[in-house]
Amino acid sequence: MGTGAGDRDMGWGPGTETGIRNRGWDWEPGPELGPEMGTGAGIGNLGWDQGWGRGPGTGTRNQNRDLEQGTGNGGPGMGTGAGARGWETRNQDWDQELGRGPGPGIGSRTGIRNRDWERGPGAGTGTSTGDRDRDRDREPGLGSGTEDRTGDRDRDQDREPGAGSRTCDRDREPGPGSARQARSHAPLRSAPSLYWSRCRSRPVPEPPPRSAPLRARRHLALPARRRPRSRGAAVTAPPGRAPSRSVPAMAEPPRRPRELFLAGLAAAYLAAFVSLYLQLPGLYGRDGILPLRRALRPGGRGLRALLGAEPTLLWLSPRAGLAAERGAELLCLLGAAAALCALLSAALRDCLLLAAMHAAYLSLCRVGQVFLYFQWDSLLLEAGFLGVLVAPLRLFRWRSAAWRAHDGVTFWLVRWLLFRLMFASGVVKLTSRCPTWWGLTALTYHYETQCIPTPAAWFAHQLPVWFQKLSVVATYVIEIAVPLLFFAPIRRLRLFAFYCQVLLQVLIILTGNYNFFNALTIVLAFSLLDEEHVAYWLGRSKKKHAGSWPPSLLAFLSTLLELAAYALLLYWSVQHFGLEIDWEKKVLESKVAFTYHEFTQWLRTVTLPLVGVGFLSLSWEILSALYRCISVRGCFWKLWALLQWAVFATAAVGVFAVSLVPFTYIDYESNGKLWPGIHHMFNAVERFQVVNSYGLFRRMTGVGGRPEVVLEGSYDKQTWTEIEFMYKPGNVSAAPPLVAPHQPRLDWQMWFAALGHHSSSPWFASFVYRLLQGKKDVIRLVQLDEAKYPFSAQPPTYIRAQLYKYWFTGSTETGEGATRWWRRQHVQEFFPTVSLGDPTLESLLAQHGLKDKAPPKRPATTFLPWLLESIRRLSLPFSGPAVLWSLYLGAASAALLRALARRPRGGAPPARHKGPKRGDPVDRGGGEKNGQALADAAGSGPPPLRPPWGQIPVPTGPPPPCSPIPGWRWAQPRAGTPGTPQKGADEPGSLWKCFSGSP
């Protein structure tokens, strides 16, 4: 004969006991027993370890997180059996082991307390115990009793059902209950527990006599705090009200990975826009190397025809009274501002804002000519387009839900992009027939021949050859074999693939300045994560209980498949790369154990099956999203969810189909087998760069030495002075710089120009021409500090370019070479000696259409041109890395301050209070103020609850060292004989009370 409540362990009647209330983050109930017929009064814990032992003794409490365990000895007391209760050990830290508190008396139980986030259940005899799950991702607790059973309470959305518990909250499954009477939606609470746990909240009503009907007891239901509903959580509607829309909790949706992806995408956009803005005048200005007016020639066509020919918003610049370069600056500033806002606020990571950033960067790339023809620009455009599909619509619905039923479909496209990027990058290294990649010696040249190495590249270059070869093998495994695990159904395999990709990208970041490219690749890899793993990063995950033994068949098969995947990966690596230990030399030898013909046959065999694997994985996501949409409650919301599912599923299938064309470029025979309609679709969207082909480091350049172009200027053709760049190698004694995430686009093109004849780089003649003219905007691309530019006072009369070969110095060099980073050797002349009016220079400029006359500069008479010019003047003294890292540090500081502001005063982590169920009564009145102790209930209603206070000893001794509530202190109890109730001891004021003041 007992009733249970959905929120507390509580019952009235013989054989039941009141539950222990845990008011902190993750507490477990302690062992208590009442003296009458097995009924005991529960003691409420207000702080992390604030409780009173049964009997006249008090326990030692540990008040801080990182203290050692305390013990409390209770003397003999009523209802605890013969003899002392025994000692109880409490663990106060988050990561400590269990404490035990056995009681030897009859009717007593042993309670196991675990103060960590993942706790074990308490076990008892004669009374029932129930472990309460106060947060997500916990296992149910066990309770055994002779009369009434209380079960687990799932206090959050995605938990397993508890035994003997009635479901009163969201997303819970009913458990087998043993209560024989109807239970109310709101919990019944005992007076002592309520007094100790809610001394600040609200008055305490008194229960009616035990003979009163259940309806009278329902009148005592107290509301819990409201919590915000999360999107996709199933909601149990109250009686008499239609259920609202809901999505069944199949698997917890990856909300946090999606937010990480959107935040990382905003950070990449910020780097791209800011870096390009600082270089715009020198690259595309009216006196720049490649002025934008060359790419924006309307020719008398209308706006619609212009947008059809070249989709860029810069066609609108003349309509806004701006020159083309000023329009490009405006797009960069607006894009950078939008990216910074999205990086700072999750509410602004909206699909409309991401669409604006994508349109702005696409407009710049379409007219950026050779300086924006990099693969990372294409990757950012494609990732930005997917971000528009993935991001929610928040601007018009500020408090809209964070996850939609179909979001898993669009988020899967990010994983598919990552797969195409990595798999193609690994395959092209072998299809190019580069001897260094086939000989596993590519990394012995890579560190010194890459565009802009870092200081760490010099140290990596000194590693032994066998280790460099092994590194190439690891690169092949990570780029070709591991991406197949992206679509594995086993979670741990996907996490293994994620960390492999992150490891590779971090090593590249440490040894090379590749702007935002590698960071963006890590951002794409967030699609391999799940909600639980990101919560583990943030310290909000709960460790799982030890699994039952023997394990289930599904768990056994999953572990077996995982081990088989690792074993197959290791066998494939050893078999195809001839990994063998040379015990005499104590090295690990490696070599390619297959031929080019065998590899191309394998590639032709697996290309289309990989497309099938991707299609099956996408189909699973689509069907899962369809199930969620069908399970939505309410006819209107079901139709609305199905409509959204149809739209986004069609878009995902379309993007997947179009991406097959660039993906199958790795094998042209497979490309020819695609349906012709897919090729037509790709040709229709190719100019928008929705999908692209990738293949990084196809061939290793600089095998015989790193080619480098060195510019020299002179006034008399006799004395030549080198023009040193800020970032690219030049001075042999200068250390390699750290530039990322900024990309000096002129330095990068100088690296490409050195690989061939100067006629292959038409922009180089324009660059020399601008230096002869002494254009300040172009000079700032070479040296920001005019003092380091040798011709800052007067432009040089003559300029020529020489070709050198550069090598890293060795670690064993001594003398003068020991202080240098580079050694070099002159090869030949790269560009002839020219001056202004030189026929050779004039013919080159005319040949490539670079000898046009600049239009007159428009005066900044209106507000917008004046504002753009003012911002430009402010940015002139600062370099790209300095501006970018200042913005990133500012965003990180703002995020840190926001996180600190959310923490309660006193430094204690906030308790995770759960909100009310729908239909629960809500407390509309004010609770207590200024620490006033709970007193009699005001107004009409049931009389106040008067528990048997005489059965509980009054605490003695000094007050606790600190209050569990920040900003409160403990007040002395009424004087009296220790352990003996005095007159008025049955009132709340006879116990310790907390009042406002200093702790």
Give residue for tokens 């003296």. Answer: 35
**Chain position carrying tokens 């006359």:** 853
Global pTM value:
0.70
Consecutive H or E run containing 474? helix 465-476
Write the single-letter amino acid at 527.
S
Report the candidate in 828, 851, 836 with the shortest Cα–Cα distance to residue 715: 836
Return the closest-CA partner of residue 603 out of 668, 659, 660. 668
Alpha carbon distances (Å) from 50 to 27, 62, 590, 910: 11, 8, 63, 16
CA–CA separation, 49 vs 514, rounded Å? 52
Residues of the chain with pLDDT under 50: 1-208, 210-249, 399, 401, 545, 910-955, 962-999
Q: Which of 216, 166, 202 is nearest to 10 (CA)?
A: 166
SS (H, E, C) 861-924: CCHHHHHHHHHHHHHCCCCHHHHHHHHHHHHHHHHHHHHHHHCCCCCCCCCCCCCCCCCCCCCC
- Non-local (6+) Cβ contacts of 583 within 8 A are none
Q: Which two tokens stand for residue 563?
A: 């081990």
**DSSP secondary structure letter of residue 858:** P
Peptide bond into 916 cis (omega under 30): no
Half-sphere exposure of 462 (CA within 13 A, CB side): 10
CB 993 within 8 A of CB 199: yes
Nearest CA-CA partner of 234 in 334, 167, 301, 298: 167
**pLDDT value, residue 598:** 95
Residue 903 has what pLDDT? 75
Half-sphere exposure of 638 (CA within 13 A, CB side): 9
Query: pLDDT by residue (tens digit) across 226-269?
Result: 444 434 333 333 333 333 434 444 556 788 999 999 999 999 99
Which pLDDT does position 894 carry in this prediction? 93
Peptide bond into 550 cis (omega under 30): yes
pLDDT the model gives residue 544 = 56
One-letter amino acid at 271 equals A
Tell me the C-alpha distance between 371 and 908, whole Å: 52
At residue 144, the pLDDT reads 38
Residues 502-509: contacts with CB under 8 Å, at least 24 apart: 503/478, 504/474, 504/475, 504/478, 504/479, 509/740
DSSP state of 345: -
**What's the confidence (pLDDT) of residue 615?**
96
User: Both tokens of residue 250?
Assistant: 């199949």
Nearest-angstrom CA–CA distance, 688 and 935: 70
- Is residue 155 within 8 A of residue 911, CB to CB? The reply is no
32 near 43, Cβ under 8 Å? yes
Nearest CA to 283 among 727, 744, 878?
Answer: 744
Which SS3 state, helix, strand or coil, does residue 193 take?
A: helix
Each residue of 549-572: pLDDT tens digit?
Answer: 677 888 889 899 999 999 999 999
